[in-house]
Structure 1
C-alpha cells in the first residue's frame, strides 16, 4: 500500500495536485518518533484525541497534564492522564485505532500521530504508533485556549446546537477536527482562521478549505466516510460535536479575501456535548 489511501488519492486527483502531494510521501511512511519529535511530545500540556465512545460514535477530546505526561519512544506513545469526567471519551476503550494531535500554538508547530490503542485504563493510554509526521504552520493562531483550565463545570448533551454553543462557535478562530477512514482509522487535525470563519446554518456548520500541503488527509477521509467530530475550546466552555460531513466542491459563500481553494466542508450536527468552565 502506498502512502495515501483511496480517499486521499481521489481528492488529490480532483484538485490536480498529485505531484505536489507525492513530495511528502516519505514523511508519511514514518512509524517511529525521532528524538526531536519525542522532545516536542514531552513538552506538551495537551494532546487531542479522536476515537470512538462505547456506542461507536466518533469524538474529538482534549487530554491535559503537566509537561512530561506524554512520553514518546520508538513506536510507542504513553499518555499518563485521561479525559475529564463527563467527556465523551472518558474511559475510551482499547483495541481501536485513534488519531492524535500535539500542537505548540505559540511556536506554530504540530505533530500528528495515528495508531492502535493497546492500553487504556485509569492510568492513561498506550498507543502502538503506525504513523507520525509533522504539519506545516499555516493558519495556527498563536493565542488560543488549547485545553480546559481547572475543573469541569456543568456538562450537557444535546442533539442540536444551543445558544451558548453557537456563541462559542461564532467567535472561534481555531477548532480541532476529527475524521476517519474505514481501514486506516481516525485522524486528528487542526483548522484555524479569523474569528467567525466557521459558519452556522441551522444545525449545520460549514468552513472554507484553505490552501495547505495538498495531502488532503481530512478531506480524503470524508469522501469515503462522512463521520466527523469537532472540538472548540474557549474560556467560557468546551464544545464537542459529532455528526456527518460532506465536501462542497464549489462553495459560493466564500469571501473574496479568503485564502481558500473554492471548496468548503459542511457538517450536519448529530450530537453536542458542552462543558462550561467554573469561574
Structure 2
C-alpha cells in the first residue's frame, strides 16, 4: 500500500484563508490533496487532448503554456509519475525552461465535461517530451468552465513568436472578450501551481496597455493562487484563442485588492486581482486544436 504524505498549506495560503474567514472550509479541502495519482485520475489524463502548465523561465519570470497531443499523450505509468509525449514549440516562452529540470504546475481541463485535474511537481525532459515527478494531485469543482468540444487539425504548424512589453489593440480586445485564461503562480520556495479562471466574456478588465484585472469568485477556499501571491507577486497568464489556436502569454506581477470598492467593479467578485504586465509573447497557431462555440457555465456571475 502506498503511503500518503499529510498535505498542508503554506503560510501565504493560511494568511489568505484567514483574511477571507474560511480557515475551516480550507481545512476540509486538504482531504482532496494527494501525493499520488489515483487510478481514476490516470484514466482521465489518458483521455485528454491538451494540458496547460506553468514554470519559471529561469530568469525569475513565470509563464503559462499548453501542450497538445492525441489522447494517450498524457500517461501515468505509476502513481507518482506523469509523462507528457509532447514538447514546447521553439517560439514558446517556456521552451528553454522545459529543456531542463524545473518545478511545474500542471492542469488538465476537459471543457466538454467541465472536469479538471491539477498536478504540481518537478518536470524533466525525456524522449522528446516531459516526465513529471508528482508532488501534489487534486481535482477541482466544475465551476466557471465553459463547455467546448475539440477538433484536432493535422496541418497546423506554430508560427514565429512575437514579443512585446505591452498589449497591442488587438490583444487588448482578445483579453476583454475572453471567457477563460490560465494563471501560474509560485511560492517563495519556488513551488509552482497553475490554475484556471473563467467567466462570461468581459470578466477580465483591461485597464491600460500594461495592466489588467479580474474578479476572484467564490471557490473551494483553498486559495492556492492568492496564497502564492501573498508570498511572491510573480505570475504568468495564458489566454488561448479557441478558434485559431493562437496563444497569448503574459508575464508580470499581481496583487490582490481586498476592498469593497474594488470588488464592486466586477459582478459576483469577492475580491479583485490586479496584474501588471512585464512581457508579452504571442504564438500563432501554437495549438492544433479548434474548439466549438462555448456553452457558458451556469455559475458565471
Q: Is the structural similarity TM-score above 0.5?
A: yes
Residues 148, 238 of structure 1: 8 Å contact kept: no
Runs of 4+ in 1 over 3 A off after TM superposition: 144-149, 253-257
Instruction: Tell me, yes or no, if structure 1 residue 189 matches structure 2 residue 226.
Output: no
Matched, 1:220 2:227: yes
Aligned length: 276
**SS of structure 2 residue aligned to 1:260:** coil
The 2-side partners of 1:247 and 1:146 are apart by 37
Q: CA separation of 1:207/1:25 partners in 2, compared to 1, >3 Å: closer, same or farther?
A: same
Q: In structure 2, what is the equivalent of residue 152 of structure 1?
A: 158
Distance 1:19 1:148, change over 3 A: farther
Instruction: Give structure 1 stretches of 5+ with no counterpart.
Output: none
Q: Once structures 1 and 2 are overlaid, which stretch shifts more, 234-243 or 48-57?
A: 48-57
For residue 267 of structure 1, what is the aligned residue in structure 2?
Answer: 275
Structure with the larger strand share: 1
Which residue of 83, 94, 117 corresponds with 1:78?
83
The SS at the match of 1:140 is coil
How far apart, CA to CA, are the structure 2 residues paired with 1:94 and 1:116? 10
Please state how far the C-alpha of 1:2 moved relative to its aligned partner: 5.4
Inter-partner Cα distance in structure 1 for 2:265 and 2:151: 30
Matches within 5 A, 1:1-279: 3-28=8-33, 30-72=34-76, 73-91=78-96, 92-117=98-123, 119-121=124-126, 123-143=128-148, 150-183=156-189, 185-202=191-208, 203-234=210-241, 235-236=243-244, 237-254=246-263, 258-261=267-270, 263-277=271-285
Secondary structure of 1:23's partner? helix
Asked if the contact 2:29–2:221 (Cα under 8 Å) also holds between the matched residues in 1, the reply is no
Q: Is the 8 A contact 2:36 2:137 kept in 1?
A: yes
Structure 2 CA distance for aligned equivalents of residues 221 and 88 of structure 1: 21
Conservation of the 8 A alpha-carbon contact between 1:82 and 1:125:
yes
Could you give the per-residue CA deviations for residues 49-95 of structure 1, whole angstroms, max 9, x where no partner exists?
11122434211000111110111121001111111220011242433
Paired with 1:62 and 1:222, the residues of 2 have a C-alpha distance of: 22
Find the aligned partners of 1:170 and 1:147 in 2 and give their Cα distance: 26
Contact 1:148 1:277 in 2 (8 A): no
SS in structure 1 of the partner of residue 26 of structure 2: helix
What stretches of structure 2 of length at least 5 have no aligned partner? 1-5, 289-301
> Cα 1:259–1:128, aligned 2, differ >3 Å: closer, same or farther?
same
Preserved contact between residue 139 and residue 192 of structure 1 (Cα < 8 Å): yes
State whether residues 174 and 193 of structure 1, in contact with CA within 8 Å, keep that contact through their aligned partners in structure 2.
Answer: yes
CA RMSD of aligned residues (A): 2.3
In 1, the alpha carbon distance for the partners of 2:278 and 2:183 equals: 15
1:165-203 deviations in Å (ceiling 9; x for gaps): 112101100000111102251100000001011001111
Are the aligned partners of 1:46 and 1:146 in contact in 2 as well (CA < 8 Å)?
A: no
**TM superposition shift of 1:252:** 2.4
CA distance in 2, matches of 1:58, 1:256: 27
Q: Is the deviation greater in 169-178 or in 269-278?
A: 269-278
State the TM-score, normalized to the length of structure 1: 0.92
